[in-house]
Structures are given as C-alpha cells and as structure tokens.
Structure 1
C-alpha cells in the first residue's frame, strides 16, 4: 500500500504542474409576450443570461476534454475499490492514475496560452481530490 501511495504522490506532483476552472454561460428564455394591434401581431421574447459555475471546465482542445472526462470515471472506480477494500484493484487504479497524470502533464502543450493556468489550477484540484481518496485508503487500514 505504501508503494501505491508513493506512486500516487509522484503522480500528484506531476499533475500539480497543470490546471483549470471555468465558468459556463447558460442562456434561458425568461418571458414571452404577444401583442396584437390591428392587423399586425408582435411577439417579444426576452432572454436571461446567467453565469453558472461548473466543476469541470472545457478547453479548446478535444483531447484534453476527453482526458479530463476519463479522470471522473477513474476516480469513481478508485473510490468504489477503496470502499470494497479491494487491494489489487486499488493498486491497478493507482497505476492507471499515474499514467493518466503523466498524460495530463503533456496535454498542457495542446492548450492556448490563456488556458494553461486554468488547466493547471484544475489539475491541482483533481490531484488534491485523488490525494483525499488515497488518504481515506490509508485510514481504512
């Protein structure tokens, strides 16, 4: 288990070098009105745009977005393995995470310059999430 935790720590350091956080805009129609004057009909639609915080940012490069989607599945499997106390599966998922983190470090080169800091911040958040799950594994022992 120490070996898996050390592998995770190394992967966390690699992932900490990258990141991201994003706001997405959501537009919804809020009101519709129809007025009739004589033989003409006038329909007015107002829209409301609000900023919605999203935990998972999106980036200009689709490979990066797909890689980040892989992380969510990997983390869910890791947490399930921790809960079931399946040591073999935990070690395998830790190895997969290490590979994922190495790939994630390379993805930053595919981003626009203005996205790199956001990506780096997001990867730091993800590595902290993974570390919390790994800490849970240590506490289960």
Structure 2
C-alpha cells in the first residue's frame, strides 16, 4: 500500500515559528524552494508551504539544480501521449506526424494518417 507524507514548512530558518505562505516566504532569507525549476505550493493541511518541481521536471526542489528535465519521449504513452514522432524539449515535449502523414487535430490526441493527394484519393476511391 502506498504511503504519502503530508508535511509543510511552517517557519523560517531564523527559528521563527510564524507560519508563512509562499508569497511571504519567497522574499525571506532561507527560502527553501532552491531549484530553478521548483515552485512553491501553499499547504492545504494548515499554514505553511512546500516545494515541488515544476511540470516537466522531477527531482529535489530543495536543492540548487535539484529539478531536472523529464524526457517525456522515454516515458509511457499513457502518461505522455504521442501518435507521431516525439521530440523532447526543455520542460515538455513536441509531437508531430512524420512526413507524408497528418493528424485530424493534435497528434498528442489524434492518430496520424497517410496524406493522399486528391488524384490518389480519386483513383483509390
């Protein structure tokens, strides 16, 4: 059975026990969300805050450079769908149909199908 640790930072590094929100903590010395790709989240279980890596990154948001890029193209298609060719980008990914194919919409959501010129469609049709 999975276990989830629910905690929050309730004070500052100077020993103050005054709970701080993200807005208050960001301007104080000892702010704990250190990574360039981290974000502060206000606690829902009482006053305080905690840090997460931003979308497209994973790791330890409490360390400088602690959050690193996820290569979505190496992950499962259920988690990061792509019906075409996947290309990792910093913090995200692109999905495009390969040459000669097209999608009815976004290839992250819809399959890529062969493009046929009108003459080929008429001949086959």
Q: Specify the TM-score bucket, using the shorter chain as the normaliser.
A: under 0.3
The structure in which a higher percent of residues are helix is 1
- Higher RCO, 1 vs 2 (CA within 8 Å, ≥6 residues apart): 1
TM-score (norm 2): 0.21
